[in-house]
Amino acid sequence: MSPYGVESKTSPIEGLGLFATTPFSIGQKIAPYLGSTTTRIDSPAKAKSPTYWLEIQPGLWLDGSSAENPARHANHSCAPNAELIYNVTAGVAWLIATQPIAISDEITFDYGFSIADSIFQPCHCKHPSCPGHIVATPLRPALRRHLRFSRSRD
């Protein structure tokens, strides 16, 4: 059992997910996103297995793939209940609840992918407003326009 009140288990969204074993209120820290930092990574679009990279500032990435990272299985959702916030001063990223989270709820956040990276990353969250690809919330209208105009015409 995690000391953070979360556990990883099979997710209806994709693979493993992060689930609450204790309730969380808005603004409450859920779990840290831990890992080593680097200035070079492969693009998420090129990844052949799950990626746990987090861009913490331009050109600086955190590799969250370690089993020591309690938040690594948090899935993307187009209707997330948490956000990932990096504290530059402390050098730590935390999942923070953006709405009340009950015991056994899956904890999700917006991965914030660019349009270019989103094309290769299907989204499985099943939310009615989901554009079908993992893309940052502000970019969803642009992605929808791109997909609409890039479809073959009969």
- Of 105, 100, 112, the closest CA to residue 137 belongs to 112
The pLDDT confidence band at residue 22, using thresholds 50, 70 and 90, is: very high
Q: Mapping DSSP to helix (H, G, I), strand (E, B) and coil, where does residue 150 land?
A: helix
The candidate with the shortest Cα–Cα distance to 54, out of 67, 70, 35, 73, is 35
Residue 46 reports pLDDT greater than 70: no
Both tokens assigned to 103: 């015991």
Four-residue CA torsion sign, 75, 80, 81, 85:
positive
Please report, in angstroms and rounded to a whole number, the separation of the first and last CA atoms in the chain: 55
Whether residue 140 has pLDDT greater than 80: no
pLDDT in tens, 63-91: 888 889 999 999 999 999 999 998 878 88
pLDDT at 12: 95
pTM as predicted = 0.83
**Domain architecture of the chain: domains with CATH:** 6-150 (2.170.270.10)
Is the pLDDT score of 133 beyond 70?
A: yes
* More confident of the two residues 88 and 50: 88
Q: Which residue is it, tokens 């693009």? A: 43
Residue 125 near residue 13 (C-beta atoms within 8 A): yes
Task: Determine the Cα–Cα distance for residues 36 and 100; give it in Å rounded to an integer.
Answer: 30
